Structure 1
Amino acid sequence: MTWDTGVGAVAIDIGGTKVDLALVDASGEMLERRRLDTRAADGPEQAVERIARVVRELRAAAAAVDLEVGAHAVVSPGVVQDGRVLLVPTMPGWDRVPLGAVLGEALDVPPIAVWNDVHAAALAEARSGSLVGADPGIYVNLGTGLSSALVVGGDVVRGAHRAAGEIGYLVPGDSATTPLGTAPLEDVVGGGPMARRISALVGVEADAATIFASDDPVVGSLVQHAVAVLATAVANLSTFADPAVVAIGGGMAAAVPTILPVVDAEVRRRVPFPPAVRLAHHVRDASLHGAVALALDELARHRLAEPARQG
């Protein structure tokens, strides 16, 4: 690939098992991608060190072709407040880590912009995916967990505490019997919890994709219930927000094509003015594309601020 000279950015998508990084030019074209294991159980320090090493390699590669890296951005699971990651039970030791600051320090740059990965995925869908022009639009991420984001006027509504869209905490049934401090809807619908629950019931360990493909009638009944609960939740969100489009993404949505028609049918049945229900465009690497969009926003912000600093 021929790299244009000019400016670019580095986007970082930190997940529970892997970290994806991309060097992009000012148009957002990915010039080089890297991947490494998160090793989340080993703590954030080692991950930050290895991520910084790869970012330095990408910056060196960019410099070799006269491309200046003018911005960085990172996305992560959990609620992100002021660059600090909260509510990440799947990554022990990461809670309250000031990710933007520690990555910035490791790279000798100011604190790096950090967003929640699903908010970032929604931004990608609004810029170059299934939510382009949708005002408002809803993005639902169905993977190991469950989360969503609302897009209004092309911008992601992040909320007063940056926790907007954490629908896994919604209560799908009787609130009096639901334990506090849990994520009740995610426990029913999220791929990870659902796989663990069904595996325990049937006595066979399997992941979500295997469970959805099972011809066991007991498993099939449990899966149908989970999808029905998801469909009702999406219908309720649609009634509240009146979106033009609902885009459903995440690894489980990609692996299980039968989910989409069930959700669409329930939305049409329940919602007074039903939105279009679509598969997300960036269905497998939406968070990385979101990190790219965020990095480009940071690049534009830095370039706008440059004349003011020079003045």
Structure 2
Amino acid sequence: MNVPPATPVVLALDFGGTKTALTVADPHGTRLHDLTVETAAEHGAHAGLKRAVDAARTLLDGREPVAVGVSTIGIPGNEGVALAPNIPGWEDLALGRELALAFPESELRLATDVKAAARHEYDAGALRGCDPGLYLNLGTGLAVALVVGGTVLTGRNGASGEIGYNLRSLQDVGRTDHTPLEEAVSGKALTRAAAHGSTQLADHIGELLDELAFHLVNLTIAVDPERIVVGGGMVRSWDALHDPLRAALDAAVPYPPQLVPAAHPYDAPLLGALALAVEAARTRI
């Protein structure tokens, strides 16, 4: 085993559709240095990964981290990242293997960003003590995570909660060429709508909230959560989100749950990655 440095540190990275957030912390999780770099998806997956690794080296300032925790869009593995269309080439990027090569002396842990965020919100945020609890991410993409008995459900293939792939109408049944829900309900969808002017954007926001409420109500009826916690960049418009979602839940759900913003709506995935790094560091120190 490699001997850790006199002042060991851990590294956390959160790979998102528009940015990568990084933090260096001590082995107890106290953050020492933070940095955010643009994903620049148009330059491809390998360029985005190199940009993040270079930024991490700047933060580390010559130190080797004892452990590296990673959260990412999609479902990460050593040979690729499944269900990650927002960054061209990300699905074919051997993320685990590439990071192991970049940080060969570090323990490495990877997780899907929304599941990492839900884990953090359960441990130290707005989902604490909730059973079951539902974490809804409204960012560049759309997904949920379900926490039952203190465990974030992953599903057989790690794809539990990927509601961005939901069908949108009866006409979509049996078709392989349908438009998935994330294309209409997400920050990415709003960005596209904004390009067409303010009038169309206002109409699109109303349609987005209606469609989001439809799916959230059905999911809530199926799960019967104690609380729904909402995170992601769209939480910046919480007042506009809360009222229509609250009204929809109250009108249709037999036992309407609480609906609150995440305690850390914008950096819960990074904090979840940091928790992974801290946990991994315990095996080395």
Per the shorter chain, which TM-score range? Answer: 0.7 to 0.9
State how far apart, in whole Å, the 1-side matches of 2:179 and 2:162 are.
9
TM-score, normalization by structure 2: 0.87
Match of 1:87 among 83, 87, 91: 83
When residues 194 and 178 of structure 1 are mapped into structure 2, their CA distance, relative to the original with a 3 A threshold, is farther
Quote the Cα distance in structure 2 between the aligned partners of 1:291 and 1:161. Answer: 20
- Partner SS for 2:260: strand
Is structure 2 residue 194 aligned with structure 1 residue 193? no
The answer as to whether partners of 1:73 and 1:112 remain within 8 angstroms in 2 is yes
| Distance in 2 between residues matched to 1:151 and 1:175, nearest whole Å | 32
Q: Which residue of 2 aligns with 1:258?
A: 240
Q: Which moved more, 1:50-59 or 1:163-172?
A: 50-59
- CA drift at 1:263: 0.9
Q: Which letter maps to 1:86?
A: A
| CA displacement 1:260-311 (0-9 Å, x = unmatched) | 12112211221112211111111122221121122222223x24xx7xxxxx
Matched, 1:161 2:163: no
Structure 1 residue 109 displacement after superposition: 3.2
Residue 249 of structure 1: aligned partner = 231
Q: Is 1:291 equivalent to 2:245 in the alignment?
A: no
Name which of structure 1's ranges 285-294 and 47-56 shifts more when overlaid on structure 2. Answer: 47-56
- Name the residue aligned to 2:143: 147
Q: 2:191 and 2:24 mapped to 1: Cα distance?
A: 35
Aligned to 2:214: 232
Aligned counterparts of 1:94 and 1:292: Cα–Cα separation in 2: 22
Q: 1:193 to 1:48 in 2, by over 3 A?
A: closer
Q: In structure 1, what is the equivalent of residue 19 of structure 2?
A: 18
**Deviations 1:151-202, CA, capped at 9 Å, x for gaps:** 1222211111111111011123224478525552222221222442x457xx
Cα shift readout 1:37-83 (whole Å, capped 9, x = no counterpart): 3233333333333433333343446x5xxxx8321111111122456
**Residues 36-75 of structure 1 aligned to structure 2 (within 5 Å):** 36-60=37-61, 69-75=65-71
Aligned partners of 1:112 and 1:182: how far apart in 2? 37
Distance 1:192 1:49, change over 3 A: closer
Matched-pair contact (CA < 8 Å) for 2:66–2:106: no
Q: Tell me the amino acid that sits aligned with residue 215 of structure 2.
A: A
**Offset at 1:118?**
1.2
> Where does residue 3 of structure 2 map in the other structure?
none
1:6: how far off? 5.5
8 Å CA contact retained: 2:78, 2:97: no
1:98 corresponds to which residue? 94
When structure 1 is superposed on structure 2, of 103-112 and 129-138 the one drifting more is 103-112
In 2, Cα distance between equivalents of 1:273 and 1:290: 30
Contact preservation (8 Å) 1:14, 1:75: yes
Report the identity percentage: 35
Structure 1: runs of 5 or more not aligned: 205-213, 307-311
Q: Which region of structure 1 is more displaced relative to structure 2, 81-90 or 253-262? A: 81-90
CA RMSD, 1 decimal = 2.5
Q: Is the 8 A contact 1:147 1:166 kept in 2?
A: yes
Distance 2:274 2:171 in 1: 39
Task: Name the aligned partner's letter for residue 17 of structure 1.
Answer: T
Largest Rg, 1 or 2: 1
Alignment-mate amino acid for residue 15 of structure 2: I
Residue 68 of structure 2 contacts residue 107 of structure 2 at CA under 8 Å; is this kept in 1?
Answer: no
Taking structure 1 as reference, are residues 281 and 178 closer, same or farther at Cα in structure 2, changes over 3 Å only? farther
Q: Is the 8 A contact 2:172 2:178 kept in 1?
A: no
